[in-house]
Chains A and B, each alone.
Chain A
Amino acid sequence: MGVPRPPDGTLTLSLINISKQFGPVAALRGVDFAVTPGEIHALLGENGAGKSTLMHVAFGMTAPDAGRIQVGGRDVVLRSPRDARYHGIGMVHQHFTSIAELTVRENIALAAGRLQVGEVLRGLDLDPEALAGDLSVALRQRLEIAKALATGARVLLLDEPSAVLAPAEVEDLLSRVKAFVRAGGAAALITHKLGEVFAAADRVTVLRQGAVTLRAGISEVTRDSLVTAMIGGPPPGREQGAPSRATAMRSTAAVHLGTVPIHAGELIGIAAIEGQGHRELLRRVVREHDAVAFIPEDRTTEGMIPEMSLAENIALGRDEDSRWTRGPWIMWSAVREHSRGLMQSFRIQATSSDAPAASLSGGNQQRLVLARALESEPPPRVLVAENPTRGLDIRSTSEIHDRLRRAARSGIAVLAYSSDLDEVLELADRVLVVREGRVVEAPPGADRRVVGNLLLGIPGSEAVR
């Protein structure tokens, strides 16, 4: 049984006319998607467009309702990831799947199902005896890819592999994927970042509401045409206003990040690679000052309580608000009323203010957290946001950006950290880089290369006057 691999070791994976229904929702509607040797095929789409479902079908994690899957030109049935691996398909998941307590070598051996993994380790630039848990995020990501390749994968499915990486690390990742396809491999790349698509992909497919809206070679598309295909309309425009620093009160600092003063009305972008101490610095600002609103990175464990209702989450951290608290009592009717107002003004879509927060989509959850942060009484002087658009689609992202800009314009000192450097550069008036717990300011107008060097501490980069 199974498919004998072609002698040259190259494989084409074809998903033909795939449909999948989840309850009332058509997740995929007759989608064709093929990954051919020597090519990186980017898969784009908003949250919920069906990208992940399609990848799960390709990796045997979800059975399609209709359609065929071919590997090397023959029909196959993938009942499980094990079947997919058998047919030479490997997947790199969004979350890490390595075992922290095992070494790099052991993790690879575990994935490969054999002890001799020297050939996989070669060229990997990873210490085979290092514990996976001790690796940096970028190196763990590299280990994930190595594990997929160790199973003999000739087709690699990458689900947002760059979400947690710094620019230089993304380049390294993409160059490794490119080397893989040059050697005859085939790769599918899910990403939200259009820059990566143009940097690496040979071909691009866009999904919207479970159907293909665009399929083209990379030379035939533009940023705008991709965005239009993704959201089914023109790209959301950036709301222009007077630059906030014009109105900023420059006299006294609202707060300091490290030693750098931050003034009311400024929109500060913070760039840092994982583990450089930026999170500790930001959270110290939150802890040590009054009237600081906070949007934590992980909304479902830190930002809100999924089992509680929307209204209860609005009251979280604001249970001494005189609008609904009288002594020891909370007037939930007042909280609900306030919540309904926020649902209107922040476009939080939910069945009611009593709906569990878990039932909201990611974008609506983030709007909830943002609404709570901004609409406190008295209003915050400082807003600290960690990765405020993580996992959100283009439309929600652009809306959150607008809200942050508006908050700054209203006189709030906004500190926004993002692991996506492009987002930092797009959003911020001033860019601060945190490296090894120290804060340095990027020169005005610095581009991503300059800031990228600062991030990695490359000598000379700070000398830009």
Chain B
Amino acid sequence: MKTLPVRATATAGLALLAGFAVLAIVLHLAGYDALLAIGALFRGAFGSTDAFVSATLVRAVPLIILGLGIALAFRAGALNIGAEGQLYAGAIAATWIGLQVGSWPAPLAVAAVWSGAAVAGAMWIVLPVLLRLRFGVLEVISTLLLNFAAEAAVSYAVTGPLRESSGTYPQSDPIAASARLPVLPGSRLHLGIAAAVVLAIVLWVLFSRTVWGFRLRAAGLGPRAAEISGRIPVKRVLGVALLWSGALAGLGGGVEVSGVTYSLFQNLSPGYGFAAIAVALLARLHPIGVVVSGVLFGALEAGAQGMQREAGVPAVAVAVAEAVVIIAVLLAEAAARRSPSRQPATPVAPG
């Protein structure tokens, strides 16, 4: 847990290569010019400073913040699959607050939007936490189902209470200027990137240097041993980790509203909550790794748009690459667990 191990990095690289290879094959079989398409993907993501800063990095921000939240839960042994829903809960809260704070000084307005979004994200996971702790209902299922509920809530909000005053489209009014994040001049990159990096460092320090992080990791890696030998209240650790995980995902939604969209509408997230699972897994749940893999997946999302523009390939095609990356990483982990990476047992206890 000190630095990213070489082996993990190599595995991640190979997984990415496999993802691209399969994507190329699928595109070719579907009758597209695979080389052109993948070239367009790279140009869309890295082709220019603008592509990298305004497309790739902007998309990386929610992926990193949500990826950190997911990594936090997974580390504690809790599978939060509901980051997408928590993002929407955060986005709704952020929009509502952002509409109220027009007269506030900007730092205060942003702080209110962000904390409101984080609290909303945490609230969105309260029910799964209670169900898990009281009745043993698997959080995989409950958090997943609440994604649909959150999307429905967004539909309700933008056609009802939060509908724009002109009433034309199912979307909210733009939030107050004071609640919008400053951007890097000449680009669309907003302050959220700094928040994402700071959060990653904080989480890294928490995991590796604190009692809290140690107990969380112990509860995730060996719940029985943590309970019996570690005297760790594993259930409480699990619940707290899930709440913070929801808070981070909610914050991701708030950052997206205050930094990119400025208003609430359906499909505000192109599936960031799900892609962020891949981000966390590719990073092997390491916070600093999440930043790197978040940028990579941001590049995929950005490149997908370029691919659509230049080669006429539907942007969802990159989902193929993402899926292959996840599967490759999981396979590599399973293989590592099976292979005798443990040192060979000495045949006899040396005297």
Contacts and interface: CB of A to CB of B under 8 A. Distances in A.
Interface string B215-254: 1011001101110111110000000000000000000000
B194 interface: no
Contact of A361 (B210, B221, B224, B349): B349
Given A308-B221, A358-B342, A359-B342, A302 B228 contact: yes
Interface of B: 208-212, 214-215, 217-218, 221-222, 224-226, 228-232, 340, 342-351
Interface stretch (A7-15, A43-51, A251-259): A43-51
Contact of B214 (A48, A303, A319): A319
A105 to B, nearest CB: 33
Contacts of B224: 301-302
Interface stretch (A18-26, A63-71, A407-415): A18-26
Contacts of B222: 301, 304-308
Most chain-A CB neighbours within 10 Å: which of B208, B228, B343? Answer: B228
B209 A330 contact: yes
Give the size category of A's interface with B: 35 or more
Contacts of B345: 25, 48, 361
25 contacts: A25-B345, A46-B349, A47-B349, A48-B345, A48-B349, A208-B348, A210-B347, A296-B229, A302-B225, A302-B228, A303-B225, A305-B221, A305-B226, A307-B222, A308-B217, A308-B218, A316-B229, A319-B211, A319-B214, A319-B215, A332-B208, A359-B342, A361-B345, A369-B229, A395-B351
B46 to A, nearest CB: 36
Given A301-B225, A302-B228, A307-B222, A22 B349 contact: no
A320 B230 contact: no
Given A302-B228, A305-B225, A319-B215, A329 B209 contact: yes
B221 A209 contact: no
Interface string A99-117: 0000000000000000000
A326 B211 CA distance: 9
A302 B234 CA distance: 13
Given A302-B229, A317-B231, A330-B211, A49 B221 contact: no
A320 B231 CA distance: 11
Contacts of A49: 347-348
A24 B340 CA distance: 12
A89 interface: no
Contacts of B214: 312, 315, 319, 330
A210 to B, nearest CB: 6
Interface string A104-141: 00000000000000000000000000000000000000
A369 B214 CA distance: 18
A294 interface: yes
Nearest to A328: B210
B228 A296 contact: yes
A320 B342 contact: no
Residue from the set B221, B230, B346, B348 with the largest chain A CB neighbour count within 10 Å? B348
A48 B346 contact: yes
A349 interface: yes
Nearest to B217: A308
A452 interface: no
A316 B225 contact: yes
Contact of B210 (A22, A26, A303, A329): A329
Interface of A: 22-27, 46-50, 208-210, 232-233, 294, 296, 301-308, 312, 315-317, 319-320, 325, 328-330, 332, 349, 351, 355-356, 358-359, 361, 363, 369, 372, 393, 395-396
6 closest A-B pairs (Cβ-Cβ)? A305-B222, A359-B342, A316-B230, A317-B230, A302-B228, A307-B221
Given A294-B229, A329-B209, 20 more contacts: A22-B344, A48-B347, A208-B348, A209-B348, A296-B229, A302-B225, A302-B229, A304-B229, A305-B222, A307-B222, A308-B218, A312-B214, A312-B218, A316-B226, A317-B231, A317-B232, A319-B214, A320-B211, A325-B211, A361-B345
B158 to A, nearest CB: 42
Nearest to A317: B230
Among A22, A304, A317, A396: residue with most chain B CB under 10 A: A317
A173 B342 CA distance: 36
A330 B230 CA distance: 15
A143 B218 CA distance: 38
Contacts of B231: 317
A365 to B, nearest CB: 11
Given A296-B229, A316-B226, A356-B342, A305 B347 contact: no
A372 B225 CA distance: 13
A317 B232 CA distance: 7
Residue in B232, B346, B349 with the greatest tally of chain A CB atoms within 10 Å: B349
The CB with the most chain A CB atoms within 10 A, among B214, B218, B230, B347, is that of B347
Contacts of A233: 351
B347 A363 contact: no
Contact of A26 (B209, B340, B347): B347
A330 B349 contact: no
Contacts of B349: 46-48, 361, 363, 393, 395-396
A372 B350 CA distance: 22
Contacts of A369: 229
Contacts of B232: 317
A114 B236 CA distance: 50
Contacts of B211: 319-320, 325, 328-330
A332 B214 CA distance: 11
B215 A359 contact: no
Contacts of A332: 208-209
Contacts of A48: 345-349
A182 B347 CA distance: 35
Contacts of A302: 224-225, 228-229
B276 to A, nearest CB: 24
A209 B342 contact: no
Nearest to A364: B349
Contact of B347 (A27, A316, A351): A27
